[in-house]
Amino acid sequence: MSSTPIDEVVSNIPGGEETPHEYGIETLAVHAGARPDPVTGARSTPIFQTTSFVFDDADHAASLFNLQTFGYVYSRMTNPTVAVLEERVAALEGGRGAVACASGHAAQFLVAATLMQQGDEFISSRNLYGGSVTQFGVSFPKLGWKCHFVDPTDPENFRKAMTDKVKFIFLEGLANPGGIIVDLEKVAAIAHEFGIPLVVDNTLASPYLCRPFEWGADLVLHSTTKFIGGHGNTMGGIVVESGKFDWRQNDKFPGLGQPDPAYHGLVFAETFGDFGFTMKVRAVALRDYGPTLNPTAAWNLLQGVETLPLRMERHCSNALAVAEWLQDHPKVKWVSYSGLKSSPYYELAQKYTPKGAGAVFTFGVKGGYDSGLAVVDEVNMFSHLANIGDTRSLILHPASTTHRQLTEEQQIGAGAGPDVVRLSVGIENVNDIIADLDQALAKA
Amino acid sequence: MTTAAATKTEGDPLRYLPHHDFYSDDKLRRILSSIRTFAMVGASTHWKRPSYYAMKYLTNKGYRVIPVNPARAGDEILGEKVYGSISDVPYQLDMVDIFRSSDEALEITKEVIANKDEKGIRILWMQLTVRNDEAAELAEAAGLEVVMDRCPKIEFGRLSGELSWCGINSRIISNKSLRPPR
């Protein structure tokens, strides 16, 4: 059988057969997962706006339903446009596989539903997006899942909260909204000591600034609504698997390491090896709970992620300039940005996010709650809204919005106290961003 | 599930063959496109076992897979008779795929070497998580090409683009559509 022409065109080894070529993240952001369409040659990924896919014959259909062959069945579980986004983000994170879904909250739900049974527990950093604190602390207990919140600034707090029912540790590496960085490597070591995975929400850093798998994380989540998509136009979430966690090292994960009654007795971690978790999330949690990402949304996110490295460079340089300007402003009490040398998290930022400390941070306005609200009301270019990671500069007063459902103690614990203003610095001209804040602070 | 680095043969460091830590896509594609018939040692009659999944998938892709399993000799899997050993197989074989533990791979490799001229065996493949560098060294000295700690189903699916359909990172960057290695 002839093999020469194809061998050459699909080679992933520009230099020969001895070592793998590692593509840079700027290349992966543009190319990973997206080859030309085999039928039409279309170079941009087509939007496969279809619910269902035709089977070749009855045996093919049976094989697909048994997961014995790879193929598309129904867009609730798999879709060709969505699959390109999944492979793209898996590649950016250096992971084995990924499952995209409707939102970041859906991604958190899919992980929780895959790792926990009723009565199980998990430990989470308390420094989270406020909506996650509510999801974990109020809604998950209704399903029989208990969350232990801990202060993540001392990694030993995760160990202190450990019980034999805990199935994973969850944290935001670069935390929203407080400019806090958690010591990923230390927390990963504690999780592995107890035979459980570390799950990192990498939304704020994006894989351009930090790849948590390189520090021992086992699963990475994103709200792709934020920097991955980057343009504030599309909701989405994704779960990425490292492929390195051994789900059969203990009996904590029967859904992965033992025959699964939801799939005719299949042992996912055995049959699918190092992408067993990804297959399980898709074939059971996504199938049965249904928080699917639609193909058009996936296309919007793909369009956005191509420029992730360029955008993050500008987001970070703008954010640092704004933070430095704010910390010298007479009406500003404090600035919490881990890229500032004055930040207690500066050393951790140099380790985990050396290319920049992200674009989302907080500052306190002298005068407390009312002054914070006044700044938000007086800006002209910053948009007052409940999102982050947009090309546009965004501003928010968390205590009266995203963190409103929390008690004041919880708000302060999450870095969202009464005087806190949160910025998501956009990619506009930095002088214009500073000028807008300057005039707003003058009126506050 | 453990992967290559964790299952390297312990003991004599001379038995560690670093050229088996990585296989290029060119090499895997060349092997998978050059074989037609191969034996699967450790094929299971149980339809929920990984070896059955791999055999069914590769059969559907056009390969003839001859099951070898001493405990099941004489049974049938997917229309193919099960043989008790490689020497019992009455066909020419391009490759032998070892679906047994890393420790068992050594004895099976010796049987492959003993049968390679009569059966025309060119390739020795050990499944994902199966790695035995001592066996590989013997096989290579006997003129066989060796792949370890890989699944031919997963590699076929990866090279053809099918694995990407379920969000798995193929690590293939290409300006051409992916085609099956056939």
pLDDT digit string, tens, across residues A301-346: 999 999 999 999 999 999 999 999 999 999 999 999 999 999 999 9
- Given pLDDT bands bounded at 50, 70 and 90, which one contains residue A392? very high
**A106-110, A312-316, A364-368, B80-84: segment of lowest average pLDDT:** A364-368
Residue-wise pLDDT for A117-173, tens only, equals 999 999 999 999 889 999 999 999 999 999 999 999 999 999 999 999 999 999 999
Contacts of B149 in chain A (CB under 8 A): none
Q: Which of A9, A84, A273 sits opposite B1 (nearest CB)?
A: A273
Selection from A190, A199, A124, A136 nearest residue A159 by Cα: A190
**Which helix (DSSP H) or strand (DSSP E) does residue B45 occupy?**
none
Instruction: Kindly state the average pLDDT of the residues B121-132.
Output: 96
Residue-wise pLDDT for B155-181, tens only, equals 999 999 999 999 999 999 999 999 999
Residue A18 is predicted with a pLDDT of 63
Is residue B147 classed as helix, strand or coil in its secondary structure?
Answer: strand
**Which helix (DSSP H) or strand (DSSP E) does residue B5 occupy?**
none
Nearest CA in chain B to A246: B1
CB-CB under 8 Å, A19 with B22: yes
Instruction: Kindly state the average pLDDT of the residues B104-118.
Output: 97
Residue-wise pLDDT for A272-309, tens only, equals 989 999 999 999 999 999 999 999 999 999 999 999 99
Q: Which two tokens stand for residue A226?
A: 């934020």
**Eight-class DSSP state of B65:** E
Q: Average per-residue pLDDT in chain A?
A: 93
Residue B95 is predicted with a pLDDT of 98
- Given pLDDT bands bounded at 50, 70 and 90, which one contains residue A4? very low
Q: A388 and A226 in contact (C-beta within 8 Å)?
A: yes
Q: The complex's ipTM?
A: 0.90
- pLDDT at residue A1 tops 70: no
Nearest CA in chain B to A277: B1
Q: Are strands A332-336 and A360-365 parallel, antiparallel or unpaired?
A: antiparallel
Tell whether B157 is within 8 A of chain A (Cβ): yes
Contacts of A265 in chain B (CB under 8 A): 48
Residue B14 is predicted with a pLDDT of 60
- pLDDT at residue B10 tops 80: no
Residue A412 is predicted with a pLDDT of 83
CB-CB under 8 Å, A275 with B24: no
CB pairs under 8 A between A and B: 160
Residue B8 is predicted with a pLDDT of 47
Q: Where are the extended beta strands (E) located within chain B? A: 37-41, 64-68, 76-77, 80-81, 95-98, 123-126, 145-147
Q: Give bridge partners of residue A117 from the DSSP assignment.
A: none
CB-CB under 8 Å, A6 with B179: yes
CB-CB under 8 Å, A276 with B22: no
User: Which of A10, A28, A241 to mutate to probe the B interface, most B CBs <10 Å?
Assistant: A10
User: Which of A2, A8, A35, A245 to mutate to probe the B interface, most B CBs <10 Å?
Assistant: A35
Residue B2 is predicted with a pLDDT of 37
The Cα–Cα gap between A336 and A362 comes to 5
CB-CB under 8 Å, B159 with A10: yes
Residue-wise pLDDT for A45-63, tens only, equals 999 999 999 999 999 998 8
Q: Which of B3, B53, B173 sits opposite A32 (nearest CB)?
A: B173
Residue B12 is predicted with a pLDDT of 53
Domain at A309-443: CATH code: 3.90.1150.10
Residue A415 is predicted with a pLDDT of 79
CB-CB under 8 Å, B167 with A70: no
Pick the CATH number of A25-304 from 3.40.50.12780, 3.40.640.10, 3.90.380.10, 1.10.3720.10: 3.40.640.10
- pLDDT at residue A16 tops 50: no
Closest CA–CA distance from residue B26 to any residue of chain A (Å): 5
Residue A6 is predicted with a pLDDT of 39
Name all domains of chain B by residue range, CATH numbers in brackets.
18-164 (3.40.50.720)
**A230-239, A292-301, A351-360, A403-412: segment of lowest average pLDDT:** A403-412
Cis peptide before A177 (omega within 30 of 0): yes
Domain residue spans in chain A?
25-304, 309-443
Instruction: Kindly state the average pLDDT of the residues B94-121.
Output: 97
- Given pLDDT bands bounded at 50, 70 and 90, which one contains residue A11? very low
CB-CB under 8 Å, B168 with A35: no
- pLDDT at residue A413 tops 90: no
Q: Are strands B64-68 and A360-365 parallel, antiparallel or unpaired?
A: unpaired
Interface of B with A in 73-132 (CB under 8 A): 128-129
CB-CB under 8 Å, B169 with A91: yes
